């Protein structure tokens, strides 16, 4: 099969690699759609701790074309969202942290920037009939956002702020809204991303190039004291600090975006301590991946996918994503 192998920077080779084999308990999925993730972009920029050479890609959907021993034959032809890792539900991490951190279940050795992928059958989640297969590739980023939002304790009639309206910010906004945020502000400088946030539940759109966030805080929150809950969905330490500064005393700030390894927080820790801000990190899919395909059917995802690229044009798709030329770019490995 064909696959794109990351060689460092934004350099990839379009390679012939061995076809995956349906080992016992595994399935082989023919990839329909693979999403460009912000962590893929950050890795090519040296900002995420992944190392070449490797086949990247961890947001995907496709069709099961082969099954291994112990997997029901009737799964062949099933449309699925692909989770690179399964869960054992028995190890310490599954029981005490979340199933994304499973220490036992195998992870697919390769990623989804390829025509096919082999993976544990438990990690291939059947799609509801009313979810199209391309949209199902958004299951992974949406699950990261839902897992994060569900760590928040959202009060009655809460005010909320999301900084960043890439796909992670949009899903965070949607789930904050569905979990009880009454008045939601989304802050984003890129027009196409900011404007689409309304279909994800944003009540107020903020362009940080035009209006200081302090003015929005004064206008929207109780006596200008700050938001009940805030979320940073970009992965920049200075924006995490901006969220903390926009949070009311005893409010909550959620880190959805992944800041570069080794980052420090540019904030007055005395002030954060004095105001008793609760800062929470959320990394990965938590325990919710299997629930998210149904959650996607409840959202208006029109025009979220801004561009589709063939497998060989992966570097161009990563560049488009890095430059913020749209909301979400995807690869069609067999297109």
CATH code, domain with 160 = 3.40.50.720
- Give the domain-ending residue among 266, 281, 296: 281
Same-domain check for residues 220 and 317: no
Same-domain check for residues 262 and 293: no
Same-domain check for residues 240 and 275: yes
Query: Is-cis flag, bond preceding 123, omega within 30?
Result: no
Residues written for the chain:
335
For position 151, what pLDDT does the model report? Answer: 97
For position 110, what pLDDT does the model report? Answer: 85
Radius of gyration of the chain (CA): 20
Same-domain check for residues 138 and 199: no
Given a cut of 50, the residues of the chain with pLDDT beneath it are: none
| Three-class DSSP labels, 79-122 | EEEECCECCCCCCHHHHHCCHHHCCCCCECCCCCCECEEEEEHH
Residue 106 burial class via C-beta count within 10 angstroms: exposed 0-12, middle 13-18, buried 19 and up: middle
H helical segments located in 150-211: 167-178, 191-196
Going 17 to 307 to 108 to 120, the CA torsion angle's sign is negative
For position 107, what pLDDT does the model report? Answer: 82
Same-domain check for residues 11 and 115: yes
Q: What is the number of other CB atoms lying within 10 angstroms of the CB of residue 92?
A: 11
Contact in structure between 232 and 172 (CB atoms under 8 Å):
no
- Give the domain-ending residue among 281, 298, 324: 281
For position 253, what pLDDT does the model report? Answer: 98
Q: Which of 118, 115, 106 is nearest to 28 (CA)?
A: 118
Which DSSP symbol is given to 24?
T
Contact in structure between 64 and 105 (CB atoms under 8 Å):
no
For position 108, what pLDDT does the model report? Answer: 82
Longest dimension (CA), the chain: 63
H helical segments located in the chain: 38-44, 92-96, 139-149, 167-178, 191-196, 213-220, 237-245, 269-274, 292-296, 314-322
Residue 77 burial class via C-beta count within 10 angstroms: exposed 0-12, middle 13-18, buried 19 and up: exposed
Q: How far is Cα 196 from Cα 178, in angstroms, rounded to an integer? A: 17
Q: What CATH number has the domain bearing residue 309?
A: 3.90.180.10
- Give the domain-ending residue among 263, 281, 299: 281
Residue 107 burial class via C-beta count within 10 angstroms: exposed 0-12, middle 13-18, buried 19 and up: middle
Q: How far is Cα 268 from Cα 225, in angstroms, rounded to an integer? A: 17
Same-domain check for residues 277 and 289: no
pLDDT per residue as tens digits for the range 244-299: 999 999 999 999 999 998 999 999 999 999 999 999 999 999 999 999 999 999 99
* Three-state DSSP class for residue 161: strand
Pairing of strands 204-206, 181-187: parallel
Same-domain check for residues 33 and 133: yes
Same-domain check for residues 273 and 297: no
Same-domain check for residues 86 and 183: no
Same-domain check for residues 50 and 157: no
* Three-state DSSP class for residue 231: strand
Give the range of the structural domain holding residue 256, as residue numbers without chain letter: 152-281
The total of structural domains in the chain comes to 2
Same-domain check for residues 77 and 177: no
Same-domain check for residues 138 and 9: yes
Whole-structure pTM value: 0.96
Which DSSP symbol is given to 260?
P
């Amino acid at each position: 099969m064909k696959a794109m192998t990351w060689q460092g920077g934004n350099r990839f080779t379009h390679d012939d690699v061995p076809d995956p084999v349906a080992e016992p308990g595994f399935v082989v999925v023919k990839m329909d759609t693979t999403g460009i993730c912000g962590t893929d972009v950050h890795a090519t920029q040296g900002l995420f701790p992944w190392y070449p050479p490797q086949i990247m890609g961890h947001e995907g959907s496709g069709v099961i074309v082969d099954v291994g021993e112990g997997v029901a034959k009737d799964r062949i032809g099933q449309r699925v969202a692909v989770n690179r890792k399964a869960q054992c539900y028995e190890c310490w991490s599954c029981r005490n942290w979340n199933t994304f951190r499973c220490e036992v279940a195998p992870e697919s050795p390769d990623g989804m920037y390829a025509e096919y992928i082999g993976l544990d059958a438990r990690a291939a989640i059947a799609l509801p009939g009313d979810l199209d297969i391309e949209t199902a590739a958004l299951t992974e980023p949406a699950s990261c956002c839902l897992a994060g939002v569900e760590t928040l304790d959202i009060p009655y009639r809460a005010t909320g702020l999301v900084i960043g309206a890439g796909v992670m910010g949009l899903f965070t906004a949607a789930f904050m809204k569905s979990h009880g945020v009454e008045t939601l502000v989304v802050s984003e400088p890129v027009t196409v991303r900011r404007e689409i946030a309304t279909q994800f539940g944003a009540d107020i759109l903020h362009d940080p190039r035009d209006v200081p966030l302090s003015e929005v805080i004064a206008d929207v929150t109780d006596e200008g004291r700050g938001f009940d809950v805030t979320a940073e969905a970009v992965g920049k330490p200075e924006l995490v600090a901006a969220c903390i500064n926009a949070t009311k005393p005893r409010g909550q700030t959620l880190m959805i975006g992944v800041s570069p390894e080794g980052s420090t927080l540019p904030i007055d820790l005395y002030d954060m301590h004095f105001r008793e801000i609760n800062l929470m990190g959320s990394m990965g899919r938590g325990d919710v991946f299997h629930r998210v395909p149904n959650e996607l059917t409840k959202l208006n995802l029109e025009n979220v996918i801004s561009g589709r690229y063939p497998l060989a044009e992966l570097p161009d798709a990563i560049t488009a994503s890095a430059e913020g030329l749209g909301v979400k770019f995807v690869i069609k490995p067999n297109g």
